[in-house]
Amino acid sequence: MRIIRVRLAKRSYDIVVAKNAMGFLARYIRKLNIGESAYVITNNLIKRRCSSRLIRALQEAGLDFKIKIIPDTERSKSIPVLSSVINDLAKFDRKRRTFIIALGGGVVGDLSGLAASIYKRGIPYLQIPTTLLAQVDSAIGGKTALDLKEGKNLIGAFYQPRLVLSDVSLLKTLDQRQLRSGLAEVIKYGIIKDSSLFAYLEKEYKNILKAKPDVLEHVVAVSSRIKAGIVQADEREEKGLRTILNFGHSVGHAIEAASGFNRYTHGEAVGLGMLVALEISSRLRFISSLFESRVENLIKATGLPTLISGIALKDIMRAFYRDKKFCGSQNRMVLTRGLGRPEIVRDLPIALIETAITKRIISLD
**CB of 20 or CB of 87, closer to a copy of itself:** 87
Instruction: Determine whether 218 is an active site residue.
Output: no
Instruction: Determine whether 242 is an active site residue.
Output: yes
**How many degrees, rounded to 5, is the angle at CA 246 between CA 243 and CA 248?**
150
CB 103 within 8 A of CB 46: yes
Q: Is 241 in the site for a copy of itself (CB under 8 A)?
A: no
Taking each helix axis from N to C terminus, what angle separates 176-193 and 289-301, rounded to the nearest 10 degrees? 160
CA 215 to CA 209: how far, in whole Å? 10
**CB of 75 or CB of 172, closer to a copy of itself:** 75
Find residue 103's DSSP bridge partners. Answer: 128
Choice from 9, 121, 285, 290 touching a copy of itself (CB under 8 A): 121
Q: Is 365 in the site for a copy of itself (CB under 8 A)?
A: no
Q: Is 87 in the site for a copy of itself (CB under 8 A)?
A: yes
**CB of 153 or CB of 232, closer to a copy of itself:** 153
Q: State in angstroms the smallest separation of the CB of 155 from a copy of itself.
A: 5
Give me the 8-47 binding string for a copy of itself, x by CB under 8 A, dash otherwise.
----------------------------------------
CA 61 to CA 29: how far, in whole Å? 8
Q: Is 97 in the site for a copy of itself (CB under 8 A)?
A: yes
CA 276 to CA 262: how far, in whole Å? 20
Q: Is 114 in the site for a copy of itself (CB under 8 A)?
A: yes
CA 248 to CA 118: how far, in whole Å? 31
Q: Give the residue among 204, 187, 347 at the shortest CA–CA distance from 252.
A: 187
Q: Give the residue among 240, 193, 236 at the shortest CA–CA distance from 11.
A: 236
Q: Is 96 in the site for a copy of itself (CB under 8 A)?
A: yes
CA 234 to CA 191: how far, in whole Å? 19
**How many degrees, rounded to 5, is the angle at CA 104 between CA 235 and CA 150?**
65
Among the listed ranges 102-110, 144-152, 195-203, 306-314, the one in contact with a copy of itself (CB under 8 A) is: 144-152
Find residue 156's DSSP bridge partners. Answer: 145
Instruction: Determine whether 143 is an active site residue.
Output: yes
Among candidate residues 121, 203, 285, 346, the one labeled active-site is 121
- Bin 95: left if φ > 0, else alpha if -120 < ψ < 50, else beta: left
Q: Is 117 in the site for a copy of itself (CB under 8 A)?
A: yes
Q: Is 158 in the site for a copy of itself (CB under 8 A)?
A: yes
Q: State in angstroms the smallest separation of the CB of 13 from a copy of itself.
A: 17
**CB of 133 or CB of 145, closer to a copy of itself:** 145
**CB of 151 or CB of 303, closer to a copy of itself:** 151
SS (H, E, C) 205-220: HHHHHCCCHHHHHHHH
CA 249 to CA 24: how far, in whole Å? 34
Site for a copy of itself in 63-82 (CB under 8 A): 79-80, 82
- Say how many CA atoms lie within 13 Å of 107 toward its Cβ: 18
Give me the 305-344 binding string for a copy of itself, x by CB under 8 A, dash otherwise.
-------------------x--xxx---------------
Task: Write the DSSP symbol of residue 240.
Answer: S
Q: State in angstroms the smallest separation of the CB of 244 from a copy of itself.
A: 18
CA 36 to CA 100: how far, in whole Å? 11
Instruction: Determine whether 249 is an active site residue.
Output: yes
Choice from 1, 3, 148, 312 touching a copy of itself (CB under 8 A): 148
Instruction: Determine whether 253 is an active site residue.
Output: yes
Q: State in angstroms the smallest separation of the CB of 231 from a copy of itself.
A: 14
Q: Give the residue among 164, 274, 166, 163 at the shortest CA–CA distance from 216.
A: 166
* Site residues, a copy of itself (CB under 8 A): 79-80, 82-83, 86-87, 90-91, 95-97, 114, 117-122, 143, 145, 148-151, 154-158, 236, 324, 327-329
| Residues with catalytic function | 121, 143, 185, 227, 237, 242, 246, 249, 253, 266
